Amino acid sequence: MKSVAVLFYFLGITLILNAQRQTDNWYFGERAGISFRTGNPIPLYDGAFENWEGSAVISDSLGNLLFYTNGVTVWNAAHDTMQNGDGLKGSYSSTQSALIVPKPLSSNLYYIFTTDDIEHINNVVYHDGLKYSIVDMNQDNGLGAIVEKNKGLRDSVSEKVTAVRHANGRDVWVITHEWNTDKFYTWLITAEGIKPPVISAVGTAHNHVEEYFFINNIGYMKASPDGSKLALILKRAMLGEIFDFNTATGVISNPITLELEHSPYGVEFSPDLSKLYVSDNNELYQYNLQAGTLEDIQNSAIKLYTANHYIGAIQTAQDGKLYVAMHEQGWVGVISQPDSLGEFCNFEPEGVFLDGRICLLGLPNFIQTWFNSQPIRVEPGCVGEATNFFMRNTPNSDSVQWSFDDPESGPLNISSQIQPSHVYSAPGAYHVELTNWFGGVSELFSYLFYIEGVPQTNIGNDTILCGATSYLIDAYNPHYSYIWQDNSTDSVFIATETGKYYVNVRDIYTGCSVTDTLLVKFAQIPEINLGNDTSFCENSTFRLVSPLENCTFRWQDNSADSVFIAQDIGSYFLEVKTQDNCTNTDTIHLTHKYLPRFNLGFDTIICENDTYTKHIEFELSDVEITWVHSAHQDTTFDFDYVFFEPDNVIVTTKNQCGEITDTLAVGTKYCGEIQIPNVFTPDGSGQNESFYIEGIESLTCSLFVYNRWGNLVYESQHYTNNWTAINCSSGVYYYVLSCSEKNMSYTGFVHVFK
């Protein structure tokens, strides 16, 4: 778009030109969309319509969406039906069902031109022709409303409508073709309104062919970016026609006709007008318009691609590339270098993925000269990468200066190169300015574009895997592609060996990429075995040991030695940690082994001629038994031992914890009636030395002894057969014996002989 303001610098003149962003947003197909606001095509997900063929979209000069239509319904920027925005007389099945044209010198009024498809029923043609409606963006709080609807311009036209700027750079020509004639109708849209049409009868008549009555109605018509050329398709006739267009008068002239192959549909000029692109059924062709004669141009056809589906519209975008509708596919094709010949035009069939939305036959219709007014072309890089800048449509230049809107870059923010590059360190919107000097006049151009950040990816921190044999590294994120260190391309990678793993992640929409690296180490779990649960001897300790080296240890009491001395029974726990922080644990339960305890009981005395049975039982079975001073050698652990006579038994038991010895003495005694002797001889002979009374051994008896004069010579409260008549002379003595158990007393005389 030319001269918005004029400034005088010294003796030179500066023209300030601002880039237009009205074509930044596209909606088409089954709720599909593309945004060019960042400089790279990014899929949109908020489109409201599903449309087989044509559509039209308009954004403001900053690239903000205003509204869009399929020729039948109009949706506002909130993706709601605009006020009074339904019932337009276009068609979802019209090749170029709609075209939006801002009213010159108005900030709020827009024309929507619509073309209907032609229906032929019982030899009657039904067609609404070319109509227009007017949108006022001041209505509905800035969301707009249709204030005039379906105003007729021409009753019967082909499904073709395009537009270019007038030579004055302000007004707009809207061009269509009448059905069943050879006439073009061209209306000039000015600030005053729609002027009467300029009619050019030239080229092939648009009418039926045999039984295919309306097929020639189908196919695109496009103006070249500079407005000087016009090209259209006659589908059934399999023709393409190219005309000259006079942007000052609106006159169309000088047709040339190309014979096409099958069933053509889409058509588009390259930005420099040197090439013409045609979609023909499932094939894409390029024609070299600079080949020479008409025959040379016809013979210059190069088949760029053959698909297994229809190929539809071809549309220029503000990035200078051509976008190709791939029918019923989830992507749009891209011709990245459309000015280049043959395969060097770099056609990518799957150029822009639509992220689940579907492209059909149509792409949005725009004023074609909007793609000629931008003198700056930007190939945005990503953060940290070179962004390239180009001048186009400004062949005359003495010198230039670029300002990259990046003051943080210091002196690198300015360049005088014709095609400079600049590296941006942060994502965001940037407003580049280009000043071009030629013949004392400077022109200042500006362009808003976006730098994308690198993809946000994180495959994790370096990790050590204890005892694992594999590790899943997941880099998945929607809209990314992946290349791992082994050139595999899945979103995940299964690591099975210790090493460094890395993935380059690329955003398939922005083209920005980043590499993330992860170190994976597969480490062994320490082997630890405290042994099976066991026992140890009481009154001893048990030594627990871990033989591992270069490890740390933690016992149940938080001690940290490799050895633990257990002093009591219970459960003991050990955790071992390697230098790789791999841990393992083990637990052992300790119980006691006991000394071979037993008890033969107390020594005892039995009555003469009686027996004594002692039940002997040993608590432990794993013992060695030894009998001493006894003929009995029984080694069982539970038995009865019978004493028939006085005996002294010594038993020793022994196991790994030690030995225990016990003794049992069994004696005999007289157990009959008390027998008191009448004489004893304490003469030192060793025989009958004491006053021995049989039968009192187990009794409690008192004894009192008197001489013949009645004097007490001996007394005992608990007599034990121990009076030997000490200090007494031979003679007769009187005694009194009393036993509490007998509850009686015994008296009599005893003779003492010395």
Residues 179-220 pLDDT 10s: 889 999 999 999 999 999 999 999 999 887 655 445 778 899
Identify which has the larger pLDDT, 444 or 621.
Answer: 444
Q: Which range (311-315, 401-405, 670-674) has the least confidence?
A: 670-674
- State how far the Cα of 51 lies from the Cα of 94, in Å rounded to an integer: 10
Residue 13 pLDDT: 37
- State how far the Cα of 59 lies from the Cα of 66, in Å rounded to an integer: 5
How many other C-beta atoms are found inside a 10 Å radius of the C-beta of residue 100? 25
Q: Where are the beta strands (DSSP E) in 336-477?
A: 347-353, 364-365, 376-379, 386-391, 399-403, 414-415, 421-423, 428-438, 441-451, 463-466, 471-474
Can you tell me the mean pLDDT for 353-360?
Answer: 93
- State how far the Cα of 405 lies from the Cα of 388, in Å rounded to an integer: 14
**CATH topology classification for 604-669:** Immunoglobulin-like (2.60.40)
b/e per residue, 399-415, with b = 16+ CB within 10 A? ebbbbbbbeeeeeeeeb
Can you tell me the mean pLDDT for 29-36?
Answer: 95
Architecture of domain 20-371: 6 Propeller (2.120)
Give the mean pLDDT of the chain: 89
Are 357 and 308 a contacting pair, CB within 8 Å? no
For residue 537, what are the contacts with CB-CB under 8 A and spacing of at least 6? 592, 593, 594, 595, 656, 657, 658
Can you tell me the mean pLDDT for 602-626?
Answer: 77
For residue 59, what are the contacts with CB-CB under 8 A and spacing of at least 6? 21, 22, 23, 24, 25, 65, 66
Q: In this model, does residue 313 exceed pLDDT 50?
A: yes
Q: In this model, does residue 531 exceed pLDDT 90?
A: yes
Work out the pLDDT band at 249, boundaries 50, 70, 90. Answer: very high
Structure-token pair, residue 312: 């539809």
Residue 10 pLDDT: 30
Residue 621 pLDDT: 65
- State how far the Cα of 268 lies from the Cα of 323, in Å rounded to an integer: 10
Residue 8 pLDDT: 30
Q: Which of 737, 697, 698 is nearest to 717 (CA)?
A: 737
Q: Which of helix, strand or coil describes residue 93?
A: coil
Q: What is the pTM of this model?
A: 0.63
Longest dimension (CA), the chain: 189
377-451 matches 20-371 in CATH topology:
no
Can you tell me the mean pLDDT for 100-128?
Answer: 81
Q: In this model, does residue 561 exceed pLDDT 90?
A: yes
Q: Where are the domains of the chain?
A: 20-371, 377-451, 463-523, 534-593, 604-669, 679-752
- State how far the Cα of 29 lies from the Cα of 49, in Å rounded to an integer: 8
Can you tell me the mean pLDDT for 467-482?
Answer: 92
Residue 629 pLDDT: 57
Q: Which CATH superfamily is domain 377-451 in?
A: Immunoglobulins (2.60.40.10)
Residue 579 pLDDT: 93
Residue 639 pLDDT: 67
Are 624 and 653 a contacting pair, CB within 8 Å? yes
Q: In this model, does residue 124 exceed pLDDT 80?
A: no
